[in-house]
Amino acid sequence: RFPQHGHYVPQKFADNRIISSKYTVWNFVPKNLFEQFRRVANFYFLIIFLVQLMIDTPTSPITSGLPLFFVITVTAIKQGYEDWLRHKADNEVNGAPVYVVRSGGLVKTRSKNIRVGDIVRVAKDETFPVDLVLLSSDRVDGSCHVTTASLDGETNLKTHVAVPETAVLQSVANLDKLVAVIECQQPEADLYRYHLFWTPWKIFVNEVFNIRNYMDFTKMALNYKSKSQKRSAVEKSMNSFLIIYLIILLFEAILSTILKYAWQAEEKWDEPWYNGKTEHERNSSKVIFISDFLAFLVLYNFIIPISLYVTVEMQKFLGSFFIGWDLDLYHEETNQRAQVNTSDLNEELGQVEYVFTDKTGTLTENEMQFRECSINGIKYQEVNGKLTPEGFSEDSPDGNMHKEELFLKAVCLCHTVQINADQTDGADGPWHANGIASPLEYYASSPDEKALVEAASRYKLLHVLEFDPNRRRMSVIVESPSELLKYKSGEIDKTRVHVDEFALKGLRTLCVAYRRFTPEEYQEIGKRLHEARTALQQREERLADVFNFIERDLELLGATGVEDKLQEKVQETIEALRLAGIKVWVLTGDKHETAVSVSLSCGHFHRTMNILELVQHKSDSTCAEQLRQLARRIKEDHVIQHGLVVDGTSLSLALREHEKLFMEVCKNCSAVLCCRMAPLQKAKVVRLLKTSPEKPITLAIGDGANDVSMIQEAHVGIMGKEGRQAVRNSDYAIARFKFLSKLLFVHGHFYYIRIATLVQYFFYKNVCFITPQFLYQFFCLFSQQTLYDSVYLTLYNICFTSLPVLIYSLFEQHVHPHVLQSKPVLYRDISKNAHLGYKPFLYWTILGFFHAFIFFYGSYLLMGEDTSLLGNGQMFGNWTFGTLVFTVMVITVTMKMALETHFWTWINHFVTWGSIVFYFIFSLFYGGIIWPFLHTQDMYFVFVQLLSSGSAWFAIILIVVACLFLDVVKKVLCLIQILLSYVHRTLNHITSILLPLVFNL
């Protein structure tokens, strides 16, 4: 309720509606057209279409306008469908049921209807519909515990406490009567800091969620980082090829224009008397020159494949479903399928050179189990749920438990584990005199804590000093009912040795220490904590100072070792990645010994590898000197594989002044392990590598908020197990690390081969299409006469040759999937964009020109001006000759696609032979009817006349065979080689069986 007195002007707040979609019904058409015409090819064809409308061109504007309209329409439908899915997701959030306090009771409404000032009830395990201020909870102390997993991926619990004045308002009736004013600063992105006052009490609340616009002002919006557009190497190659073909187009148009005027300069080739030029026309030759150039540009413009982009988009969009449908990527335990968020990068999965992976939750299960601990210098092991001193059996006497009591109390008390409130009912509560009444459900800030506190008694908790990545520790202040034992400092060295042993075993280690306060010291601490937590300025710095003051002079009690098991087949997957030529970098926040041990156990480092270290450097000079020594050592030894271990501190120094030297060392190492890393350091390493002169393709895989920046920075980002809430930041989501091999070696391999062939085939078939048109101009004195009918110009790319290559790009399997996965070395064959380099591109382009010359000159020689082809002695005319060339071309390019296909399905057969049949049926139908809406009937009865000639059939067969003869020979030789290889393997197998029998006889 707004104040009723004073000079307060009520603010106007936006509603709570979430909008993540790009379009609305009203702006879809103009906005989508604007985005599509920013693409060079679409804009180019728009210009060609406008030129055809403005000047007298040899082809109808429909020849460019209709394909352009088709491409724009298909792309708009695809983008509209994707935006409809975003609208659907938005509606689910906006329509989520929410309970708010209104008119003295709880009213059910929708999330989008929440307004500033509404009191919202949030139950356990529900998501906050807006940013909220905590007024009260069902706990007596007014506290609650929340996670920000859906925002930043962190699953740890954060404790929030209501102010005393509102904490007592635990009924709807009392809350409805609340009259208060909130004064707060402007919204900010920091999840863990907010300044707020309640008036008239002026009381500060530690953590606040303010009700503001859900998408524009809330922490969800302020923390949302839209993904940068990632462009694949194939798209970059495609744009380069497009520029080359544009140069070819301009060259042909300029050459044709020059030759036209050069030939017409001779009097015998000048305009005939009945079409003589006027004096004005002769004086305006410059304008006519430009007009002729534009006319030739229109005539040859189809050398640029307009439908290439829409075919590529359809291939990526439809092909991405195969990843989700792959049952080998399905994780049955969690019922999770592989998920594709960015289909634009499918082929990049076949080009990965570096894999950056987190450890916890990615290589490991992130399910902690207590294994060992060190107390009072004695090492204990967990045996069947009991702590047993090293060297003693499970049934050995417990000994003097007084020394262990303090350690166990510290482990039980120093945590933020919460008990499920639903299990605390009953007269005696969950804790009885003899222990726990029933199994309890715990909510913990970290899996380590939950593993250490499977069963614990609670003291009175006074303060929690939350975990901080800079301090790397957390503390609690509790009120103890009994005297605490002093600890012998003489056993500290043994404990340190045990910690190193735990780390070498790959266990996660935690050190436990304590400090005892007098009542006077505690009062001073409480006062300083309150002042720091209620400070309006420099609160973080003041809190850090108080925490350091409290956590000094601690006495070491012992250490724990918690095991995080490796996921299934991690070692095999990393070894397969290494065989494929992919370098794996493990980026983790673990300590040096733990990280190295896990790297050895998972196969990231192997025993024969020479491990180099760049750790514990405090100055630039020592770090630089060590880097130079490592570089010399690697250069001198070319045989042994090297592995590099670098810690976060040394990494910061190396990246500050010695980036080039550091990257040189890293690139020459087979495996790199970065330990004690901060989240932003991970992203910086990925960015540094991918922007190096070599520009390698990078892939990052991880889970949780500390990996999101790394995933967004990499060329391809993959989200793992714990990061499902932040999956929108990734490009692909898989449930287990082992699925990475199938994703890269099979799907990535197939996607790259398919799209590489698709792109180059498109340029090939358009060279075949337009080159005869260019050659024809030499026989018609560059009069801009078209060789093909306008309908054929329009439908060539849209109907006659589009489906075979699209189906090929969806189903082609040049090698069996099992072979690709079992032989990772095959991945090297397609690395560094091998199939889309300039050599393959040059091959396809030259092949296109070669076939085009055979189409044109083969038809000309076989059916030239001196050949009588019809029964009545008549010769073929202009349109018949052009139709013959077009027919040969359609059959040849379709058969060429068939020869490139290795994996045939019924769909391939249907579209391949169906495309040829469709062309014949369409041509007979189109040329067999007088169409009243067409201005000209150039093709009337032409195709029927062509097919009625035996000579035409002979020419078609001969030219097609001439074009594809070498391809057929190559295919036959490959089949013979495969057959001989199979026979050879069979004979070796038979010999291996028979020889022992012969020797035995």
Q: Six-digit token pair at 845?
A: 């382009």
**470 burial class (0-12, 13-18, 19+ CB within 10 angstroms)?**
exposed
Identify which of 936, 739, 767, 732 has the alpha carbon closest to the alpha carbon of residue 841.
767
C-alpha 304/C-alpha 770 separation (Å) is 9
C-alpha 809/C-alpha 313 separation (Å) is 11
Q: What is the DSSP string of 840-893?
A: HHHHHHHHHHHHHHHHHHHHHHHT-TT---STTSPPP-HHHHHHHHHHHHHHHH
C-alpha 801/C-alpha 202 separation (Å) is 75
Is there a contact between 1 and 77 (Cβ–Cβ < 8 Å)?
A: no
Identify which of 260, 300, 281 has the alpha carbon closest to the alpha carbon of residue 63.
300
Is there a contact between 136 and 37 (Cβ–Cβ < 8 Å)?
A: no
**794 burial class (0-12, 13-18, 19+ CB within 10 angstroms)?**
buried
What is the end-to-end Cα distance of the chain in Å, rounded?
104
Using alpha carbons only, what angle is made at residue 379 by residues 376 and 385, rounded to the nearest 5 degrees? 115
Residue positions in the annotated binding site for ATP? 358-360, 449, 467, 508, 588-590, 676, 682, 706-707
Identify which of 678, 679, 685 has the alpha carbon closest to the alpha carbon of residue 662.
685
Pairing of strands 555-566, 364-375: antiparallel
Identify which of 134, 137, 105, 108 has the alpha carbon closest to the alpha carbon of residue 124.
137
- For the chain, give percent helix, strand, coil, nearest 5: 50, 15, 35
Is there a contact between 120 and 130 (Cβ–Cβ < 8 Å)?
A: yes
**443 burial class (0-12, 13-18, 19+ CB within 10 angstroms)?**
middle
* Residues recognised as catalytic: 358
DSSP run (H or E) holding 194: none
CB atoms within 10 A of CB 411: 21
Residue positions in the annotated binding site? 358-360, 449, 467, 508, 588-590, 676, 682, 703, 706-707
Q: Six-digit token pair at 23?
A: 């379009």
DSSP run (H or E) holding 514: strand 508-514
Residue 796 amino acid letter:
Y
Identify which of 825, 689, 843, 844 has the alpha carbon closest to the alpha carbon of residue 749.
825
Dihedral angle computed from the Cα positions of residues 662, 668, 669 and 675, in that order, rounded to the nearest 10 degrees: 10
Residue positions in the annotated binding site for Mg(2+)? 358, 360, 703, 707
C-alpha 362/C-alpha 733 separation (Å) is 12
Instruction: Return the CA Rg of the chain.
Output: 37
Q: Six-digit token pair at 741?
A: 């091999």
Q: What are phi and psi of 497, to 5 degrees?
A: -60, -40
Is there a contact between 584 and 604 (Cβ–Cβ < 8 Å)?
A: yes
Which DSSP letter does residue 480 get? Answer: -
Using alpha carbons only, what angle is made at residue 61 by residues 58 and 64, rounded to the nearest 5 degrees? 105
Q: Give me the residue label for tokens 């979430």.
A: 18
